[in-house]
């Protein structure tokens, strides 16, 4: 081998040994959501949001109608307390106290049963008895029906108390007949129902329909 060729071979070996090899890398194209994947994701979010909103709305309706039922029961209990303590409206202390419901009205009344004088009839007499307080049914809630015994076709209901007896005097349709039990059935705009049960011994309970 001649010197020229040998020199060339040595140069090539040195070049291969000390040269830097540059690797080339190909960048992958960025991958995102396809239109179908995006639509599916949005659909899932809408579905979950709808379920949460519906359950929250139902919960609120249950709370509102239940609060109203307890407010009515406490109002009846307040009338009972007035009757026992004789919250005085005249000098004779002879009046009774009661709560009056009308199925066609969006309010119910606490009234002092002062008519006839010195001999109250345990009925709400418009224009004669004294209204102590008016309580309105709000949020679209209303009285669905009033019941005495098994009859749920009555138009109005008076539940009153006269001292010294804590018992409830239950009368309906402005008549003198007394009943053993009464129910005030209320309903929300979403169809959720509650009932307030009262019996003649003065027991009051809130029940689901």
pLDDT at 14 over 80: no
Q: Which residue has the tokens 């005030």?
A: 184
Q: List, for residues 31-60, the tens digit of each pLDDT value.
A: 566 778 778 888 888 888 776 666 656 668
Residue showing tokens 């009661």: 98
Indicate the CATH number of 64-208 among 3.55.40.10, 3.90.600.10, 3.30.1490.20, 3.40.50.720: 3.55.40.10
Single pTM value for the model? 0.71
**pLDDT tens-digit map of 58-107:** 668 888 999 999 999 999 999 999 888 866 555 466 788 999 999 999 99
> CA–CA separation, 101 vs 76, rounded Å?
11
Tell the residue number behind the tokens 């809630």, with chain if given: 141
Block residue for tokens 């809130």: 206
Q: Which of 192, 196, 176 is nearest to 135 (CA)?
A: 196
Q: Token pair of 21, please?
A: 């090899």
pLDDT, residue 103, reads 95
The rounded mean pLDDT for the chain is 83
Alpha-carbon dihedral sign for residues 94, 97, 101, 105: positive
Model confidence at 16, in pLDDT bands (50, 70, 90)?
low
Separation CA 54–CA 185 (nearest Å): 25
- Domain residue ranges of the chain, discontinuous segments joined by +: 64-208
Of the pLDDT bands very low, low, confident and very high (cuts 50, 70, 90), residue 127 is: confident
What is the predicted pLDDT for the residue at 94?
Answer: 76
Reported confidence tier of residue 195, pLDDT bands at 50, 70, 90: very high
- CA 107, distance to chain mean position in Å, is 18
- Give the pLDDT confidence score for residue 46 in this predicted structure: 80
Which has the closest alpha carbon to 142: 204, 84, 184? 184
Rounded to whole angstroms, the Cα distance separating 196 from 206 reads 5
């Amino acid at each position: 081998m001649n010197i020229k060729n040998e020199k060339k071979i040595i140069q090539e070996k040195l070049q291969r040994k000390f040269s830097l090899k540059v690797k080339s890398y190909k960048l992958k194209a960025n991958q995102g959501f396809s239109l179908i994947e995006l639509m599916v994701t949005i659909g899932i979010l809408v579905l979950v949001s709808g379920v949460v909103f519906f359950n929250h709305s139902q919960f609120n309706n249950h709370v509102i109608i239940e609060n109203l039922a307890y407010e009515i029961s406490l109002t009846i209990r307040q009338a009972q307390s007035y009757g026992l303590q004789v919250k005085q409206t005249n000098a004779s202390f002879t009046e009774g106290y009661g709560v009056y419901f009308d199925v066609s009205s969006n309010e119910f009344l606490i009234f002092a049963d002062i008519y006839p004088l010195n001999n109250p009839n345990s009925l709400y007499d418009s224009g004669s008895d004294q209204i102590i307080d008016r309580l309105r049914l709000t949020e679209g809630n209303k009285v669905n029906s009033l019941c005495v015994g098994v009859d749920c076709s009555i138009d109005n209901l008076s539940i009153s108390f006269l001292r010294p007896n804590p018992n409830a005097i239950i009368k309906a349709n402005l008549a003198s007949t007394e009943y053993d039990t009464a129910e005030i059935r209320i309903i929300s705009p979403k169809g959720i129902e509650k009932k307030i049960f009262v019996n003649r011994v003065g027991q009051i309970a809130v029940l689901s329909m």
